[in-house]
Chains A and B, each alone.
Chain A
Amino acid sequence: MRAVKILHCADLHLGARLKNLGSRAAKRQQDYMKTLELIVTVCKEEEIQLLLIAGDLFDSSKQSNELLEEVRALFASIPDTYIAVAPGNHDPATVDSCYEKKGFWSDNVIIFSGEMTDHEIPALGVRLWGAGMTEGYSLKSLFHREQSIREAAAYDDEIQIGVLHGDLISAGGRSEYNPVYKEDIRDCGLQYLALGHIHKRSEPEWEGSCCYAYSGSTEGLGFDETGEKGVYIGLVTKSSCSLSFFPVCQRRFVRCEIDISTVTGTKQAAAFVRSFLQVQQGERFERHLYDIKLKGEQKNIWSFDAAAFLAEFDDVFYMKVREQRQLSCDLEQLADEISLRGIFARRMLLIKDKISKDQFETAVQIGLKAMNGRVDYSEDYET
């Protein structure tokens, strides 16, 4: 049975400016390019026949000539791999975009633009279906030629594969980014639909006889995108589809809460956190980007020096830390004391039922901490 080996990726966002990373932005931009290089290398080594890029390859339609040339060269370096690009909402195929440059891209690159069309690849026995966004929004669904697909599918033993940047929703839903209705996918005739736009990878699922998945972004773009990022590699035949996840990201975003109740000072906290991360993240944990919240309950809260703490993590690519320890106390017991603290505790207990739990606890913590030290709002402190 004929099979085609594919690599499905999306949302590479090359050229993103990453202002939120401050001085690290430049290095991180390099990461994105390295990831694409890795993907291309994998294509060579794994003899990938079809590389599907489901949108947002670039972070915007206008990129520097240097970057474009790099990408063009990378694509051209794997002439035995067909590369299908479906422009997304970040890099739509506008008239002045790099996708409309005539004669720029190498012959193995197929770029879809506008409504869904098909492209035959006889050498692979594949008929490729794709659409490309031509502007940043698309209220209308570009996936609406399913009938044509079905017709094509019925008569050939061509493998039908689709690539699209869009928002998968149920009937009645609405999206500004090329809504793709699940009902339309079902039995549309495609064997596999490579989707892009959602940065969180989804497991391959079936809707009728069509297998579909979001490969997720190839690098996290912020702390709301934690975990391993990568691509799907697999085989698609007329009757089956088997994919496996292959991680490619250079660095991960990691969020963790670490309990430092047993720690007695800033330096010790740093050491504690370091060994914690080493265990949790393994070798080369310092590659990644961290959002650390220091928690815990202590009877005596020693003063936390964020700057000194972070100075112990010069080797880590990026770290931001927030100290959120609580004073442990028995409020009821405290309320019996004849002292400012006691009276405060008593009075707080009296209004406990009138306010939210969170506000109660925060106010109590502030009051108790204020007995010994400052209670300024603590923000994230970053490297």
Chain B
Amino acid sequence: MAGWTIVKITKLEIEDFGKFHQYQLELSQGFTMIYGANEDGKSTLMAFIRLMFYSNQKSVRDLSNLRKKYLPWGKDTMSGAIELMTDKKLYRIQKSFGATAARDEIDIYCITTGEKLLLPKETEAGEWFFHLDQDAFERSLFIGQPGPVLTYDGKKKDDIAENLKNIETTGDESISAEDVLRRIQEAKEGMVSKRQSSGVLVQSKAREAELFQKIAKMKQTEDDLRLRHEEARDLNRSRDDIKRKKDDLEKQLEKEQEAVEQVLEAKNTLEECRRRSDLQKIQVENEKNILHTKLSMEEEKLTLLKKSEPTAVDKKSVRNYILAGILAAVCGVMGAVMIHKAFLVLLLFSVLSGVLAIGRLRAIERHAKSLHEWQMNISTCSKKILEYREAEEAGKKQELLLKSFEEIQREAEEDLIKKQKIYQFYTEIREDYKSCLRELDVVKQQIFVLLSSFKQPEEGLEELMGEQRVIHERIMEQQEYYDALVLCHEIMQEAADEIRHTYAPKLGQVSGNIFAGLTKQKYQHLLVSKTYDISVLPEGAQYRDGAYFSGGTTDQMYFALRMGILQLLEEKEHKNYFLLLDDSFTAYDESRLELALQYIDLYCKGEEKQVIMFTCHRYLIDLAVEAGILFESKNLRC
């Protein structure tokens, strides 16, 4: 990084340590591979470096007492020096080791300035230079044997954690996971409360259930109503039927009644007729007798008259008188005129004749008249008698007729008696019809009352069903939102957990990058727990525990982790620290090795970096050469 200073080891001087006696090793920047066979003292050198910086061997992993292990045979003290460049200054650390840490003596000089450095009490050199305790040092700059980073027992203060704490977030400290989760939870509970007794969704569902019931009930009610309407219609029809029948019956009964009355009237009339007829008969008889008497009287009279009938002589005399009269008159007049007035006396004669004639004429007339009269009377009488005879005849016929009528009447009256019975029956039926109609009317009334009592319900079926549709849609929406809330809560919880449990998420990111670079694969996010367990998050939601992978991959992961830690430290201190590797790639196959070496090559390129790798594998160096890695190779020799 531009502007960062390098921290590198420039020289190792061992006076006495393990198998080393007066040993010097100069180290430069860049990638240095130090080859030494197994017993050549590689580990010793590593231990020396460690001890130089840290006396106190409270390292969890290292069970053996390093001091005892490396105390040169036959000597009580070990001593040596390291020259270190940091902050562009060269320092020299001289230390002699006693049997215990308390017996150590350390002197630090700043060669550049010539000053002597006095370490604060209880402060290790490493702590002073790197701001790391031994454990942290061993987890970062000083990569010992491959494998999981030293586990953390949770009790001791984790220096790395302390150091890296501030690098955790990108400055969104204002967002508290608790607040966010709480908001989501509250939103959830607003829809479905903890006890599921309230909430928007719960209420909607309750309303839906309520509506469901109401609708079922309403449907029942509507069915009932429909039945009632049908009944009412049927009832109306029946009623109309019966009414028709009753009306017909009424008409029939009326007719019957009329018939009866007719018969009775006929009877009366007939009786009257009889009476009159009888009366008439008697009258006729009487009249006839009277007439007969009269007739014989008249006939007698006529006989008499006939006897005194004027004869022809009488008629002749009249004629004569008239003639005489006329003659006399004529003579008289003529005489009077011609002869003498005395002839007028003849006129008297004529008058006299005239009077006589008239008298005679009158008498004849009278006679004729009387005759005529008597004749008239007689003919009248005869006519009358004829009439009476005819009347008698008619009376006889009438009698016959009357008798037959009376016969019919008798029959009719007999019929009547029969009819009375039927009439009675019909009347009863009519009464039945009437009462039936009355009952029907009562029922009809009841039905009408019932129909009107069907109060228009608060909500009609259509309304309810409309509301049900609306609620259902709303429930779908609400359920979707609720499900999303639940999902969101789950994921947010996981995210919060990740933040909580993942120690320095940035470390995971950084390590992930390194891991990707190391394996030349797609970036995979590494999750590092507080105990430095790693899980990998490949495609897919499930984190895979580090142990899932092969040993080689796991080594790569842990290597990446250490490099990640180193990187973060460097970012914090703005320094490029040296990196000590103690045969970190023993478990790697060839391809991985190549990748690892290329990685380190890249790591060193372009920046001031120092990587010192100890190895007992010759082939590593060969491989590096083949791969065109830029490095310095040294042989370890005691």
Chain A positions within 8 Å of B, measured between CB atoms, are 17, 19-20, 59-60, 62, 90, 94-96, 134-137, 222, 337-344, 346-348, 350-351, 354-355, 358-359, 362-364, 366-367, 370-371, 373-377, 379
On whether A19 and B463 interact (CB within 8 A), knowing A344-B495, A374-B186, the answer reads yes
B459 touches A19 (CB 8 A): yes
Task: Check A95–B499 contact: CB distance below 8 A.
Answer: no
List of B residues within 8 angstroms of A20 by Cβ = 466-467, 470
B190 and A376 contacting across the interface, CB-CB below 8 Å: yes
A344 with B491, Cβ < 8 A, contacts A338-B505, A358-B480, A366-B484 known: yes
Q: Once bound together, how far apart are the Cα atoms of A367 and B492, in whole Å?
A: 7
For the complex of A and B, the 3 pairs showing the least CB-CB separation, nearest first, are A362-B484, A343-B495, A344-B495
CB A134 to nearest CB in B, in angstroms, measures 8
Could you jot down 9 A-B contacts, CB within 8 Å?
A: A95-B451, A136-B222, A340-B177, A340-B492, A343-B505, A347-B494, A362-B484, A366-B485, A377-B482
Residue in B187, B480, B482, B506 with the greatest tally of chain A CB atoms within 10 Å:
B187
> Residue B172 at the A interface, CB < 8 A?
yes
The A/B interface has a contact count, at CB < 8 Å, of 132
B180, A363: Cβ atoms under 8 Å?
no
Partner of A359, one of B232, B484, B494: B484
Contact B485 A375, beta carbon cutoff 8 Å: yes
Whether A377 and B481, one on each chain, are in contact in the complex, defined by CB atoms closer than 8 angstroms, is yes
Please tell me if the beta carbons of A135 and B226 are within 8 angstroms of each other in the complex.
Answer: yes
Tell me the dominant secondary structure on chain A's binding face. loop
Q: From residue 517 to 551 of chain B, which have CB atoms closer than 8 A to chain A? A: 525, 537, 539-541
Give the complex CA separation of A20 and B168 in angstroms. 54
- A-B contacts besides A344-B492, A363-B485, 11 pairs, CB < 8 Å: A94-B451, A136-B461, A339-B170, A340-B180, A340-B495, A340-B499, A346-B525, A350-B541, A366-B184, A370-B183, A377-B482
* Contacting residue for B172 out of A19, A339, A350, CB 8 A: A339
- Cα of A362 to Cα of B505 in the assembled complex, Å: 27
Q: Which residues on A sit within 8 Å (CB–CB) of B175? A: 339-341, 371
CA distance A247 to B346 in the complex (A): 138
CA of A167 to CA of B478, assembled, Å: 34
Q: Which residues of B contact A348 (CB under 8 A)?
A: 491
Query: In the assembled complex, which residues on chain B have CB atoms less than 8 Å from the CB atom of A343?
Result: 495, 498-499, 505
Contact with A along B376-396 (1 / 0, CB 8 A): 000000000000000000000
Complex interface residues of chain B between 549 and 607 (CB less than 8 A to chain A): none
CB pair B187 A363 closer than 8 Å? no
- CB pair B184 A338 closer than 8 Å: no
Shortest beta-carbon distance from B215 to chain A in Å: 14
Min CB–CB distance A372 → chain B (angstroms): 8
Contact of A367 among B448, B463, B481, B488 (CB under 8 A): B488
The reply to whether B190 and A377 contact each other, CB–CB distance below 8 Å, is: yes
Q: Which residues of B contact A (CB under 8 A)?
A: 168-170, 172, 175, 177, 180, 183-184, 186-187, 190-191, 200, 222, 226, 229, 232-233, 236, 448, 451-452, 456, 459-463, 466-467, 470, 478, 480-485, 487-488, 491-492, 494-496, 498-499, 505-506, 509, 525, 537, 539-541
Residues of B within 8 A of A95 (CB): 229, 232-233, 236, 451
Q: What residues of chain B lie closer than 8 Å to A379, measured between beta carbons?
A: 200
Question: Do B495 and A96 have beta carbons less than 8 Å apart?
Answer: no
Q: Pick the contact of A94: B187, B229, B466, B481 (CB < 8 A).
A: B229
A325 to chain B, nearest CB (A): 15
A366 to B488, Cβ gap below 8 A? yes
Q: Are A350 and B540 in contact (CB under 8 A)?
A: yes
Which of B180, B487, B539, B540 is the one whose CB lies under 8 Å from A370?
Answer: B180
Q: Quick one: which of B448, B463, B483, B506 contacts A338, CB cutoff 8 A?
A: B506
Closest to B508 in A: A338
Chain A residue at minimum C-beta to C-beta distance from B470: A20
A135, A338, A342, A346: which has the most chain B beta carbons within 10 Å?
Answer: A338
The chain B residue sitting closest to A89, CB to CB, is: B462
Give B217 Cβ to nearest chain A Cβ, in Å: 16
Which residue of B has the minimal Cβ distance to A379?
B200
Contact across chains for A362 and B448 when beta carbons are under 8 A apart = no
Could you tell me the distance between the alpha carbons of A20 and B222 in the complex, rounded to whole angstroms? Answer: 22
- Which residues on the A side are within 8 Å of B177 (C-beta)? 340
* Contact residues in A for B168 (Cβ distance below 8 Å): 338
Chain A residue contacts of B487, Cβ below 8 A? 355, 359, 363
Contact B183 A62 (CB under 8 A): no
- Chain B residues whose CB sits within 8 angstroms of the CB of A377 once the complex forms: 187, 190-191, 200, 478, 481-482, 485
Residue from the list A342, A359, A371 in contact with B180, Cβ < 8 A: A371
Distance between A255 CB and nearest chain B CB, rounded to angstroms: 14
Closest to B481 in A: A377
Which chain A residue shows the least CB distance to B491? A347
* Contact call A362/B480, Cβ cutoff below 8 A: yes
CB proximity of A295 to chain B, nearest CB, Å: 15
What is the CB-to-nearest-CB distance from A101 to chain B, in angstroms, rounded to a whole number? 13
Most buried by B among A62, A222, A340, A371: A340
Give every chain B residue within 8 A of A359 (Cβ-Cβ): 480, 483-484, 487
- Chain A, residue nearest B454 (CB): A62
Minimum CB–CB distance from A12 to chain B (whole Å) comes to 15
Contact check, A337 vs B170: say whether CB atoms are below 8 A apart. Answer: yes
Q: Are B485 and A339 in contact (CB under 8 A)?
A: no
Decide if B187 touches A351 in the complex (CB within 8 Å).
no
CB pair B226 A338 closer than 8 Å: no
Q: Which residues of A contact B505 (CB under 8 A)?
A: 338, 343
Question: Across the interface, which residues of A come within 8 angstroms of B456, CB to CB?
Answer: 60, 62
A205 and B633 alpha carbons, distance in the complex (Å)? 96
- Answer whether A363 and B491 are a contact pair too, CB < 8 Å, given A136-B226, A222-B466, A338-B170: yes
* Chain A residues near B482 (CB-CB < 8 A): 377
B508 to chain A, nearest CB (A): 9
Contacts of B190 in A (CB 8 A): 376-377
A residues less than 8 Å from B484 (CB atoms): 359, 362-363, 366
Q: Contacts A366-B184, A377-B187 hold; do A339 and B169 have CB atoms under 8 A apart?
A: yes
- A366 in contact with B463 (CB, 8 Å): no
A376-B187 in contact (CB<8A): yes
Hey, which chain A residues are within 8 Å of B170, CB to CB? Answer: 337-339, 342
Q: How far is the CA of A258 from the CA of B463 in the complex (A)?
A: 29
Residues of A within 8 A of B451 (CB): 94-96
- What distance in Å separates the Cβ of A272 from its nearest Cβ neighbour in chain B? 25
* B229-A60 in contact (CB<8A): no
Closest beta carbon of chain A to B458's beta carbon, Å: 8
Are the C-beta atoms of B187 and A366 separated by less than 8 Å?
A: yes
Residues of A within 8 A of B539 (CB): 350
Residues of chain B with a CB closer than 8 A to A17's CB: 459-460, 463
What is the distance, in angstroms, from A351's C-beta to the closest C-beta of chain B? Answer: 6
A134 to B236 CA separation, bound complex (whole angstroms): 15
What separation, in Å, do the CA atoms of A346 and B480 have in the docked complex?
22
* Residue from the set B478, B480, B483, B491 with the largest chain A CB neighbour count within 10 Å: B491
